[in-house]
Amino acid sequence: MTGAIDAVEADRALKSKHRAMWALGDYTVVAAELIPELGRRLVAACSVRAGQRVLDVAAGSGNAAIPAALVGADVVASDLTPELLEVGRQSADRKGAVLEWREADAESLPFGDADFDTVMSCVGVMFAPHHAATAAELLRVCRPGGTIGLINWTPEGFIGQMFATLKPYAPPPPPGAQPPPLWGQEEHVRELFGDDVTDLGMRRETVTVDRFATPEAFRDFFTTFYGPTIAVYRNIADDRERTAALDRELADLARRHAGPSGAMEWEYLLVTARRRA
């Protein structure tokens, strides 16, 4: 019994840490300025239409949830971080989108079985630490024959490589936590969903990011607005040499990926499937 209690407390502490990390900086600026079209791409890939009941898991400030609501779907946007949900509410109000916002853990969703026609996530659920638990929840709340749609950063793409760059400077992950970019590997996704889905489609695509005049501008943007990057820098704040080394590595990463004009292509895996009836 003591071991079970300890595991529950450890999970609660981990989720609290994740919630605080995503509240750092301002992720809504990242979503709005760098990848606004990804949410619309996911909504289109899932063929979301008016009257459907749609759940956006780890929705952040509504990058996919708001476009889904604007086509007339009955949308619930859920996320672990209430600060992001509040920004999303304000954004939805400005755009005339009507939807529900719920604080929720992707690994333990507060919804009934088979509640939704479409369950989706745009670079969101990949950051939940326990992948099998997350996949099980996506399947559980989707009705038989319903659609599951995901956009996840690939390990080989720019954001996956950014996380690889950050890893040596970050605290070690807790036991059982899995790297987010695994969700961008086709075989990993197949293993997670197994025989519980049909019509599993996966294709790698890119989004063009033409926001940064220099590699250093990219680095400074991410150290200002992106919670995971800010958290890593806080971890090494007392070590000037390691901080300077990470500064160089992040700028070098952007330099390697930038084209002649400075634009970058960030690769992601688009996943669509139907829950087996």
Task: Identify the band that residue 69 occupies on the pLDDT scale cut at 50, 70 and 90.
Answer: very high
- Which tens digit of pLDDT belongs to each residue from 232-266? 999 999 999 999 999 999 999 999 999 888 999 99
Residue 14 confidence (pLDDT): 84
Domains of the chain: which residue ranges?
Answer: 2-209+264-275
**Residue among 189, 145, 132 at smallest CA distance from 52:** 145
Residue 100 confidence (pLDDT): 98
Give the C-alpha separation, 272 to 125, whole Å. Answer: 14
Residue 192 confidence (pLDDT): 98
Instruction: Tally the C-alpha atoms within 13 A of residue 22's C-alpha that lie toward its C-beta.
Output: 24
Task: Give this prediction's pTM.
Answer: 0.94
Residue 10 confidence (pLDDT): 73
> Exposure of 83 by Cβ count < 10 A (0-12 exposed, 13-18 middle, 19+ buried)?
middle
Residue 1 confidence (pLDDT): 58
Query: Mean pLDDT throughout 35-54?
Result: 97
Please give the CATH number for the structural domain made up of 2-209+264-275.
3.40.50.150
Residue 12 confidence (pLDDT): 80
Task: State the average pLDDT for the chain.
Answer: 95
Angle formed at CA 161 by CA 148 and CA 236, multiple of 5 degrees: 115
Residue 6 has pLDDT above 80, yes or no: no
Task: Identify the band that residue 119 occupies on the pLDDT scale cut at 50, 70 and 90.
Answer: very high
Dihedral sign, Cα of residue 254, residue 216, residue 33, residue 163: positive
Residue 176 confidence (pLDDT): 87
Task: Identify the band that residue 2 occupies on the pLDDT scale cut at 50, 70 and 90.
Answer: low
